[in-house]
Structure 1
Amino acid sequence: MPSHRHTSTDEARQRETAAVVGLLQECTDPDELARLRQRLVVLNVPVATSIALRYRSRGEAVEDLVQAAHLGLVKAVNGFDADRGHDFLAYAVPTISGEVKRHFRDQGWDIRPPRRVQELRGEVEKASSELTQTLGRSPRISEIAAHLGASEDDVVECVASADLYHVHSLDAPVGGAEDLNVGDTLGDVDPLLGQIDDVLSVRPLMDRLPPRDRRILALRYFSGWTQQQIAEDVGVTQMQVSRLITKALRRLREGLEAA
Structure 2
Amino acid sequence: MKVVAITRTDADARIAELPVVTDPLKVAPKDARTLSKLFFEQLAVLEEGTHEYQYARNTLIEMNMSLVRYAAGRFRSRGDDMEDIVQVGMIGLIKAIDRFELSHEVEFTSFAVPYIVGEIKRFFRDTSWAVHVPRRLQEARLELAKATEELRTRLGRTPTVRELAELMSLTEAEVTEARLASNGYNSSSLDAALGNDEDGEAALADFVGSEDPAMELVEDFHALAPLIADLDERDRQIIHMRFVEELTQCQIGEHLGCSQMHVSRLLSRTLKRLRDGMLTTR
Give me the whole-angstrom Cα distance separating, in 1, the residues matched to 2:193 and 2:263. 53
Percent identity among equivalent residues?
24
What does residue 183 of structure 1 align with?
205
Query: What runs of 5+ residues in structure 1 fail to find an aligned partner?
Result: 1-13, 211-239, 251-259
Give me the whole-angstrom Cα distance separating, in 1, the residues matched to 2:121 and 2:175. 19
Structure 1 residue 24 corresponds to structure 2 residue 43: no
Give me the whole-angstrom Cα distance separating, in 1, the residues matched to 2:169 and 2:144. 11
Deviations 1:203-248 (A, max 9, x none): 9955x649xxxxxxxxxxxxxxxxxxxxxxxxxxxxx69927928x
Question: Structure 2 residue aligned with 1:122, among 126, 137, 142?
Answer: 142
TM-score under structure 2 normalisation?
A: 0.51
Give me the whole-angstrom Cα distance separating, in 1, the residues matched to 2:31 and 2:143. 34
Give me the whole-angstrom Cα distance separating, in 2, the residues matched to 1:153 and 1:108. 25
Give me the whole-angstrom Cα distance separating, in 2, the residues matched to 1:139 and 1:81. 43
Give me the whole-angstrom Cα distance separating, in 1, the residues matched to 2:80 and 2:148. 21
What does residue 75 of structure 1 align with?
94
Deviations 1:11-35 (A, max 9, x none): xxx9987645423234587767655
Q: How far does residue 74 in structure 1 lie from its aligned partner after superposition? A: 3.0
Give me the whole-angstrom Cα distance separating, in 1, the residues matched to 2:263 and 2:32. 96
- Contact preservation (8 Å) 1:21, 1:82: no
Give me the whole-angstrom Cα distance separating, in 2, the residues matched to 1:193 and 1:73. 52
Structure 1 residue 174 corresponds to structure 2 residue 194: yes
For 1:1-259, list aligned pairs within 5 A.
19-26=34-41, 34=58, 36-43=60-67, 45-47=69-71, 49-50=73-74, 52=75, 61=79, 67=86, 70-83=89-102, 85-87=104-106, 88=108, 91-176=111-196, 180-192=202-214, 206=246, 209=248, 243=264, 246=267
Query: What runs of 5+ residues in structure 2 fail to find an aligned partner?
Result: 1-28, 44-51, 222-241, 250-260, 272-282
Q: How far does residue 125 in structure 1 lie from its aligned partner after superposition? A: 0.8
Aligned length: 200
SS of aligned partner of 2:116:
helix
With CA pairs under 8 Å and 6+ residues apart, which has the higher RCO, 1 or 2?
1
* Residue identity in the other structure for 1:79: D
Q: How far does residue 149 in structure 1 lie from its aligned partner after superposition? A: 0.8
TM-score under structure 1 normalisation?
A: 0.55
Given the superposition, is the C-alpha separation of residues 129 and 83 from structure 1 closer, same or farther in structure 2, using an over 3 Å criterion? Answer: same
* Residue identity in the other structure for 1:136: G
- Contact preservation (8 Å) 2:89, 2:116: yes
SS of aligned partner of 2:141:
helix
* RMSD between superposed Cα atoms in Å: 4.7
* Residue identity in the other structure for 2:126: D
- Contact preservation (8 Å) 2:65, 2:90: no
Give me the whole-angstrom Cα distance separating, in 1, the residues matched to 2:159 and 2:81. 31
Q: How far does residue 123 in structure 1 lie from its aligned partner after superposition? A: 0.9
SS of aligned partner of 1:175:
strand
Given the superposition, is the C-alpha separation of residues 42 and 204 from structure 1 closer, same or farther in structure 2, using an over 3 Å criterion? Answer: closer
Q: How far does residue 195 in structure 1 lie from its aligned partner after superposition? A: 5.5
Q: How far does residue 166 in structure 1 lie from its aligned partner after superposition? A: 1.9
Given the superposition, is the C-alpha separation of residues 18 and 142 from structure 1 closer, same or farther in structure 2, using an over 3 Å criterion? Answer: farther
Given the superposition, is the C-alpha separation of residues 152 and 90 from structure 1 closer, same or farther in structure 2, using an over 3 Å criterion? Answer: farther
* Residue identity in the other structure for 2:65: V
- Contact preservation (8 Å) 1:41, 1:73: no
